[in-house]
Structure 1
């Protein structure tokens, strides 16, 4: 069988989310016992918890919900690029060395080790011009191993606006710690949440 890399962080009570966002919570609505043959849990969470796909609705009123977004961008050939220690923004020059034969999906690793148990706000993000540079080369989906393609303090969300302009799909909060740089098959399908601005995904890479 072809090797799989699970690039989704664990989700649990206390999983980090953007400050002010709805945290992950789980409780047991039913438990096996007299008169009850099953365990049933109840989950409350932001759709931006863990690995997730943003919908255009997240950054543009009246835009498509995640349930309306076509799925094809979330499945197919993908390139993982290591940009560890590049600083606050991934610039086009950080990706130029892997430009040849670039597939339609690009995931960028910026962390030596992803932080999955607490919030950090000094993470790396994309420079807006980098996303435009990728779109000009036929990329249709971008991903990053941090909480957002924009810096945590951004109020204008310039990188997200480039996603909107070029109709790019996006994955955030990936964990690429164990993934060598190279080409893979990406499988990261969002749920069909017909009113939502994002969806959790179980993102995996499969060797070609």
Structure 2
């Protein structure tokens, strides 16, 4: 199968000034340390950002004070067969019945689309999130990674972070802030490797889906 634009879906939002972040988190900023001109042959920038800007992988350190940093995680969960399931418009919590139509023979990775069009340019305080019992059932089904097209697998105002605590206990991995607007339901290959940030609580990813060989 040829690797062309028809077989790849880029499911990462743009990372740029104005990219939405949780209120109080560090926004993306870029400045030039050097620019091409007389005596300077290159452009070199410096960036400041939260590792939760854009599509990203949370590490256990994000929700567990004794958890591992993202650079210490096994990469295997972030690469391989996955299923995209639509639960468009479901708010505030995704329960099993919203996914049940597509749960037969689940692969190890599940990504859930909740937006008709993801709000890549604004913060959404009413984001959809997983009910913790849904995460438990996915883990029971052998799922090792869950992903969502919102900024969190828990409600934006949650303090208990019940779904994060389920993935801590069940040792699942998570991707947040995906863009699944143009992705039909079905099975794909996921490629979403985090950076080897040895002390960080999360990492940006360039998440893509690739069509499976027919």
TM-score, normalised to structure 2's length?
Answer: 0.96
Q: How many angstroms does 1:174 deviate by? A: 0.2
Runs of 4+ in structure 1 deviating by more than 6 angstroms, as ranges, are none
Aligned mates of 1:121, 1:15 — CA distance in 2: 15
**Structure 1, residues 63-99: CA drift from partner, whole Å, max 9, x if none?**
1100011000000000000000122101011111212
- Alignment pair present for 1:84 and 2:88: yes
1:160 to 135, 158, 164: 164
**Structure 1, residues 95-141: CA drift from partner, whole Å, max 9, x if none?**
11212110000000000000011111101000000000000000000
| Structure 2, unpaired ranges of 5+ | none
1:36 to 35, 40, 59: 40
Aligned mates of 1:43, 1:141 — CA distance in 2: 29
- Alignment pair present for 1:121 and 2:125: yes
Aligned mates of 1:117, 1:58 — CA distance in 2: 24
Number of corresponding residues = 208
Q: How many angstroms does 1:41 deviate by? A: 0.6
- Alignment pair present for 1:141 and 2:145: yes
TM-score, normalised to structure 1's length?
Answer: 0.99
1:47-196 correspondence runs (5 A): 47-196=51-200
2:17 to 10, 13, 16: 13
Aligned CA RMSD, in angstroms, stands at 0.6
Secondary structure at the counterpart of residue 119 of structure 2? coil
Aligned mates of 1:71, 1:52 — CA distance in 2: 14
Secondary structure at the counterpart of residue 31 of structure 2? strand
**Structure 1, residues 151-199: CA drift from partner, whole Å, max 9, x if none?**
0000010010001010000000000000000000000000000000000
